[in-house]
Amino acid sequence: MAEIRNYTLNFGPQHPAAHGVLRLVLELDGEVIERADPHIGLLHRATEKLAEHKTFLQSVPYMDRLDYVSMMCNEHAYVLAIEKLLGITPPLRAQYIRVMFDELTRILNHLMWLGAHALDIGAMTVFLYAFREREDIMDMYEAVSGARMHAAYYRPGGVYRDLPDRMPQYEVSPYKDAEEVKRLNENRQGSLLDFIEDFTNRFPTYVDEYETLLTDNRIWKQRTVGIGVVSPERAKALGLTGPMLRGSGVVWDLRRHQPYEVYDQLDFEIPVGRNGDCYDRYLVRIEEMRQANRIVRQCVDWLKKNPGPVIVDNHKVAPPSREAMKANMEELIHHFKLFTEGMHVPEGEAYAAVEHPKGEFGIYLISDGANKPYRMKIRPAGFTHMAALDELARGHMIADVVAIIGTIDIVFGDIDR
Amino acid sequence: MPLTAEALAARLQDTLGDKITQSRIALGELTIEVAAADWLEVARRLRDEPGLAFDMLIDLAGVDYSAYKDGAWAGRRFAVVLHLLSVAKNHRLRVRTFCPDDDFPVLPSLVEVWPAANWFEREAFDLFGIVFEGHPDLRRLLTDYGFIGHPFRKDFPLSGHVEMRYDPELKRVIYQPVTIEPREVTPRIVREDTYGDVGRG
């Protein structure tokens, strides 16, 4: 009879399936996991401590770098917390822009998750498909903020600027001839909103393509069905949120149950799973992409019809326009004070949470009336999911750990902060 | 329909009674404070009372109040703040308690009430040095192996105490005291209440 030995296996931190810098110490009995001990913190940058030493406005770009595949959603929770403390409401147009970009970000995040998850389990094509669409969304990010990823577009009181009237165009280069450039620029002739509308028309077909590759794929199902099962009670006790919770059949979505911005005006469905395994969570996220696309479409329609301001008029919070600044001494002083000393947020504490693509992402701010936060606590969505890994992986085989890491959609920027 | 903060406050008052040392509603959020001695019992009852049903621990944050308002803080130094959510009843609550001893902050662990507290408590222990009694596995979580100190305490400098570099002579990575000067580009300012009030001089 073969001798069965217990192993302790070190997985990561430089393993391609570890999604960044996860170090996992696995205690094995043969090939079965007895205990999984994640060692996190390799990407810990003390964002919360840094924020205590920066003005409220200076911390906005740090938020992008938390969960670096869903940048604008992180900013959203942060600006919501500041707005709550200041007692201001952004203009309606800014709220629609934020919701639209939140949902685009959800698609962006889920595409990254889908591609990486499938790649981990052995399906290469989905990754290439997903990155094709991510490119379009990153172009939208770039058109609106100037940056493909770290946008810093949401500001306390609204958004940095209105949506641009024209999309940047491809130009002829040694790598792209005139005919190719013409084809690439076809849907970029109008404004950003036209480009987004075109994307929403194309996107459902793309989702069908991913589903063709995976949903009924025998290998995909063998790798995900019945893997990493969480019961609804256990999911709540472990603090799982977002698709991880909905995959277990709990109907809970902050956009519906505790709506912020204009989510209560929009029409969308909340998909829930039944079995709480990796496959159900996959189905939930796929459907969320379709629903996000629907929301984006509704926002585009609204935004096309309703022009207006995109940031509040209060120049203690939002900078005055360049033009006003150059003609008016008062505005110049406002601008100078806002970007040197920063805004003073009234004493108090506030917690603001958004339905981040990964789950509930919250910012808890304590202000003592200074121009910097006294304490900022980030409630990362992936943190509790990562903590639940031990329970999810116990009793499974080594190869299933990869599937489970994929399904919990970890990004170390927000787990380690 | 979710309860309003006021209705929830009244319900908490009925169930927990004198266990609540302070209850405050601000910005639509309800905050209660409890004594450290009642911490575990209050947590259990918040989860188990059918009218409250806080089935999820959303967040557990350590706070160091020693530099609040540039040192005007007179209370205890370390606090732990819970953010609770009831999925069943759709309401939220913030619970705060102060650790009785400033030099050695200890609180009972909530892992048996909400397993989600496990890593949050490890984090608060790592960053603030708050010890959670009864925690099954209280190790450092976010800082480096062998890290000394609790970096989120207000007396810990932003630049830290040690830096790491490769030493070509010893042919290994070494730790040495930091060589950069601490600097603050934008100073922290707490204005008096009447600042900028036209007409009050």
Give a yes or no: residue B29 inside a domain: yes
Cβ distance A127 to A116 under 8 Å? yes
Q: Which chain A residues are closer than 8 Å to B115 by Cβ?
A: 237-239
User: What is the reported pLDDT for A82?
Assistant: 93
User: What is the reported pLDDT for B130?
Assistant: 92
Cβ distance A295 to A268 under 8 Å? yes
B144: pLDDT confidence band, cut at 50, 70 and 90? Answer: confident
Q: For B16-45, what is the mean pLDDT?
A: 88
Give a yes or no: residue B120 inside a domain: yes
Give a yes or no: residue B151 inside a domain: yes
Residue among B61, B87, B116 minimizing CB distance to A364: B61
Check pLDDT > 60 for residue B163.
yes
The residue ranges of chain A whose pLDDT is under 50 are: none
Q: Is the peptide bond before A91 cis (omega within 30 degrees of 0)?
A: no
Instruction: Residue B120: give its domain's CATH number.
Output: 3.30.460.80
Asked if A353 and B58 come within 8 Å (Cβ–Cβ), the reply is yes
User: What is the reported pLDDT for A30?
Assistant: 81
pLDDT tens readout for residues A347-401: 899 999 999 999 999 999 999 888 899 999 999 988 999 999 999 888 888 888 8
The span from the CA of A44 to the CA of A52, in Å, is 16
- The interface pTM score, or ipTM, of the predicted complex is 0.88
pLDDT tens readout for residues B87-117: 888 889 999 999 988 889 999 999 999 999 9
Give a yes or no: residue B47 inside a domain: yes
Q: For B48-77, what is the mean pLDDT?
A: 87
DSSP A134: H
Asked if B186 and A386 come within 8 Å (Cβ–Cβ), the reply is no
Check pLDDT > 50 for residue B151.
yes
The span from the CA of A42 to the CA of A44, in Å, is 6
Is any Cβ of chain A less than 8 angstroms from the Cβ of B152?
Answer: yes
Q: For B56-78, what is the mean pLDDT?
A: 88
**Residue B2 Cα, gap to closest chain A Cα (Å):** 9
Check pLDDT > 60 for residue B200.
no
Give a yes or no: residue B162 inside a domain: no
**Number of domains chain B is built from:** 1
Domain range enclosing B126: 5-155
Q: What is the pTM of this model?
A: 0.90
User: What is the reported pLDDT for B201?
Assistant: 46
SS3 of residue A267 by DSSP: coil
